[in-house]
Amino acid sequence: MQYKALSYNGNVLPVSEYHNNYKLSDRTPIICIELFPSYFDANIEVPKGVKVKKIFRINGFCIKINDHKDINSYIRANIKSNLRTVLKRKIKGLETSFDIRYRLFYGQISKEDYDFLMQSLHHMLVRRFNQRDDQHDSLKRWDSYVTSVFELINEKKASLYVIYDNQRPIQISLNYHCDKIVFLAIPSYDIDYAKFGLGNIAVQKLLEWCINNGYQMLDMGYGAFDYKLKWCNHTYNFEHHLFYEQNSFMVPIMVSFISLKTKLVNFLVSKGVNKHYHNFRSKFSKKPESDEIEYYIDGTPEDLSDDKNQKRIDFINNDSYSFLKKPVYDYLYTNLEHIEKVEVYEIQDNSSYIIKGQKNIQKIVFKR
């Protein structure tokens, strides 16, 4: 069976990115183009006699930019007032606490920057999904992303949006570009900065770039995650498209089987069976290793003094104290202080630390 491409507004997309083959024999293939966005027009050349069956699979979420001229216009029209307040608070907190800069690599990236950022994104994904006791699908085929995306960025077919704390990337989004659409494909962030809501900040900043550069849509794909529900103003269908020839008794049976299987998966997901299965599996499976250590805040910290049991430490540049980043960053978020104005002291032989800022002193105790 011959096929050409999918297209959107005349821009060709390689069908190999979307299809799976189900071969009964060399003469009776079934081609399934999976997760086909319903807003795309199919432009697939197939021989006479080939039939097409479309099956709904899952909802997709996107932001249609429409006539919005700037990011504030979109936010006012689509984001609830309480969430707008939260977004402003988190951006202000992030930019007050750290030396933040934003950068989009699109059309040009050095191999050195690319390798560093992809390695950082991989590390973020592993930490984030270990925290959730889950695994991101992209990690299963990470090597293929690393191999392909470098050229796509330099060809303006992909991009990396990065939020930096000084020189350190703390949020990275891998995106694909087609005509006037940006596909938010693989985002992740440094979980030590969780209080600052980096996922929502990244969506806002990337959407702002899309509006300023004449794009029509920011597609966030499938998966009803909280940040997508907050930002999206449109949903669409992801479909499976089956292409097949009725030249064999088995082909229609196979097509019906694939269709029933997809509908069964949809039904089970709608009833939350996948969540129950995940919860059941997580109870009995071996938990992935996590670098997080539980702690609590002591409401009555000691005054700092020249006590020999108190030692000032550099938790940023000393990896042995990296577990202190999250509690210190949480402190910065609450107190709106800059990282350079904060000192951290270890109370030796006590598994506790003192965070001293200009506004507050806080003692944290780690559970051992």
What's the pLDDT at 251? Answer: 75
Q: Rounded to an integer, what distance in angstroms lies between the CA atom of residue 44 and that of residue 128?
A: 39
For 266-314, what is each residue's pLDDT tens digit?
777 666 665 555 555 555 555 545 556 676 677 655 555 555 577 888 8
State residue 97's pLDDT score. Answer: 94
Q: pLDDT tens, 45-74? A: 666 777 787 888 888 999 999 888 899 999
Higher pLDDT among residues 263 and 12, named by residue: 263
Q: Please give the CATH number for the structural domain made up of 66-215.
A: 3.40.630.30
Percent of the chain exceeding pLDDT 90 equals 40
Q: Which pLDDT belongs to residue 95?
A: 96
pLDDT for the residue numbered 57: 86
CB 196 within 8 A of CB 163: no
pLDDT reading at 367 higher than 80 = no
| Segment 220-242 mean pLDDT | 86
pLDDT of residue 74: 92
pLDDT at 219 over 60: yes
Which tops the pLDDT comparison, 367 or 37?
37
- Cα distance between residue 30 and residue 282, in whole Å: 36
Per-residue confidence (pLDDT) for residue 20, from 0 to 100: 45
pLDDT in tens, 91-142: 999 999 999 999 999 999 999 999 999 999 999 998 887 766 556 677 788 8
How high is the pLDDT of residue 10? 37
Could you give the CA distance from residue 125 to residue 169 in angstroms, rounded to a whole number? 13
pTM recorded for the entire structure: 0.81
Tell me the pLDDT tens digit for each residue of 146-197: 999 999 999 999 999 999 999 999 999 999 998 899 999 999 999 999 999 9
CA dist list (Å): 357 to 142, 331, 351, 360: 41, 9, 20, 5
Per DSSP, the three-state class of 299 is coil
Burial class (CB in 10 A: 0-12, 13-18, 19+), 303: exposed
pLDDT for position 90: 94
Per-domain residue ranges of the chain? 5-58+236-270, 66-215, 295-366
* Range 256-265 average pLDDT: 79
- 14-25 pLDDT, tens digit per residue, is 333 344 444 434
pLDDT in tens, 303-342: 555 555 778 888 888 888 888 899 999 999 999 999 999 9
Coil, strand or helix at 94: helix
Q: Please report, rounded to a whole number, the percentage of residues in the chain having pLDDT higher than 70.
A: 76
